[in-house]
Amino acid sequence: MHSNWDDLRLFLAVARTQSLSGAGRLLRLDPATLGRRMQKLEAALQATLFSKSPQGYALTDAGAALLLRAEQAETAMRAAVADIPAQGDRLKGQIRIGAPDGAANYLLPQVCAAIALENPDLEIQIVALPRVFNLSRREADMAIGVSAPTAGRLIVQKITDYHLHLAASEAYLSTNPPITCGADLRAHRMVGYIPDMIFDRELDYLADLGITRVPLASNSVSVQLNFIRQGGGVGIVHDFALPAASGVRRILVEVVSLTRAFYLIRHEDDRRNARLTRFADALSVGVRAEVARLEALA
């Protein structure tokens, strides 16, 4: 019945990714080695933890029960080291941030690169996915969201407001009917989110404008901006992304102007983790300054 924390750490990765290959990438371990470790863990516990199929590794009832205990052990381990002072002023280790792809593409690379420059032993991973992250399952150490969660044991801190406007390429505007008011948009191709893949109500920009048909759509902000850059149509663009999109300009600025906010979200169990708190503070300051800098250029 013996198992140690290292066994549970590997088990958590397989349970969360539901595959040996996914867990292997996460842990930097060979999937075959990981598979043997899981077999040994099952033998030690005398229980089948996973139901294996071509679709991946699904937890059995015994596996689900172990997952609860493993997550409790993980929380205890994190709490145990949270207050240990770091040697020197530099941050070390690995920190993973989950973020919507607008922030991940146009803000976080330069902000995190600057933090990494000051902390050479720090590894920063940015997971750019258009969805809400589950911090309770440790999909990330912290996440940036476009709305403040109201449920769960979370620490939520507003980072900054940001602004969005309608935009189109100069090429599109020069070859299509003029746009002088909101009603003119009905004669134009619109670019936006795939309606049934909008993961947060705050992102349903076009519906707020009464636009229901979106001929060019993507769940990715960067793909939407590239549609617009290529002269595909008119869409809502983050002001902070415009400096990266030559040939695209804002339109109807006085008519359509949206304000949203970014929030930094952490798990309550990490409140006393000095390392993550220092990184969160540096990230918030950096994102706030970068939004202000890029919006001034827009």
Comparison of pLDDT for 28 and 124, the residue scoring more = 124
C-alpha distances (whole Å) from 262 to each of 147, 223, 237, 274 are: 7, 20, 15, 22
Q: Which pLDDT value is given to residue 83?
A: 53
Averaged pLDDT for residues 24-46: 87
Q: At what angle do helices 5-17 and 61-82 cross, to 10 degrees?
A: 120
Contact at 8 Å (CB) between 177 and 188? yes
Looking at 1-158, list the stretches that DSSP marks H as alpha helix, in order from N- to C-terminal side: 5-17, 20-27, 31-45, 61-82, 101-106, 108-118
Cα–Cα distance for residue pair 243/160, rounded to 1 Å: 19
Any bridge partners for residue 59, and if so which?
50
Cα 17 from chain centroid (whole Å): 16
Q: Which pLDDT value is given to residue 260?
A: 93
**Mean pLDDT score across all residues of the chain:** 87
Give the distance between the most distant pair of CA atoms in the chain.
74
Cα–Cα distance for residue pair 60/43, rounded to 1 Å: 15
Q: At what angle do helices 5-17 and 31-45 cross, to 10 degrees?
A: 120
* Least confident residue range of 3-7, 22-26, 110-114, 157-161: 3-7
Containing 99, the helix (H) or strand (E) segment is: strand 93-99
pLDDT at residue 3 greater than cutoff 70: no
pLDDT at residue 22 greater than cutoff 50: yes
pLDDT at residue 1 greater than cutoff 50: no
> What pairing do the DSSP bridges indicate for beta strands 154-169 and 248-251?
antiparallel
User: If you search the block for the tokens 């090429």, which residue do you land on?
Assistant: 171
pTM: 0.70
Contact at 8 Å (CB) between 251 and 234? yes
Question: Where on the phi/psi map is residue 88: left (φ > 0), alpha (ψ -120 to 50), or beta?
Answer: left
Q: How far from each other are the two terminal CA atoms of the chain, in whole angstroms?
A: 62
Any bridge partners for residue 238, and if so which?
164
* Least confident residue range of 26-35, 84-93, 163-172: 84-93
* Least confident residue range of 21-30, 159-168, 200-209, 288-297: 200-209
| 3-state class (DSSP) for residue 190 | strand
pLDDT at residue 131 greater than cutoff 70: no
Contact at 8 Å (CB) between 126 and 108? yes
| 3-state class (DSSP) for residue 34 | helix
| 3-state class (DSSP) for residue 57 | strand
pLDDT digits (tens, 9 = 90+) for 89-127: 677 888 999 999 999 999 999 999 999 999 999 999 998
